[in-house]
Amino acid sequence: MPAVTYGRGQSRGPRPADRADRMTGRPASLFAYGTLRFAEVLSVLLDRVPRRSAVTVAGWRAAALAGRVYPGLVRADAEVTGVLITGLTPAELRLIDEYESGPYELELLTLSDGRQGWTYAWTEQAEVLPHDWSPGEFAELHLADFAGKCRAWRDGYEAAGRTGLGVLRPHDPGRDSGDRTLPEPGPL
């Protein structure tokens, strides 16, 4: 399964323009294995729900992460189900790239059906738990609140001139703990 790695997200700083731009070429498709697989999240982030189709990819799993309600995609002797999101505009890809800033590497995956899609693979192995993330549990316990936080992030993103600088994402550490300190901006 070929994978191409483009950068390592380790801070909330400005994103290199070329990371989102790389996704606008062929294929301009995104493999979503976590929160972006939910229409409720896509709707508040993008003001629409793009085309999605169920797909799987071998050699990975959607791992539960310590202290987080969303998963991280990590290499494993397993197969993970997600959705392939297609028809994204360059502006939507930039927004998603800012939303997914953090400890991720952008990878191009070959999916089980032969199509390709970009994905955000998790890089902070210390936070990876031994069990898989449950989309059903997330939907039941966290989706409504998470979608509301996504709406607040999107509003802040727009107010900040579509830079996201200084705007807490729904999945930033410390969001619910009262800690509002943002990491220093820096390179990926």
Domain extent listing, the chain: 5-159
- Structure confidence by residue, pLDDT tens digits, 81-118: 999 999 999 889 989 998 988 899 999 999 999 999 99
Residue 25: pLDDT band with limits 50, 70, 90: low
What type of residue sits at position 37? R
CATH for the stretch 5-159: 3.10.490.10
What is the pTM (predicted TM-score) of this model? Answer: 0.80
Percent of the chain with pLDDT over 70: 73
Q: Does an H or E element contain 77, and which?
A: strand 72-86
**120 bridge partner residues:** 106
In this structure, of 25-34, 134-143, 148-157, the range with the lowest mean pLDDT score is 25-34
Residue 161: pLDDT band with limits 50, 70, 90: confident
* Confidence at residue 107, expressed as pLDDT on a 0 to 100 scale: 94
Residue 20: pLDDT band with limits 50, 70, 90: low
Highest mean pLDDT among 2-11, 89-98, 171-180 belongs to 89-98
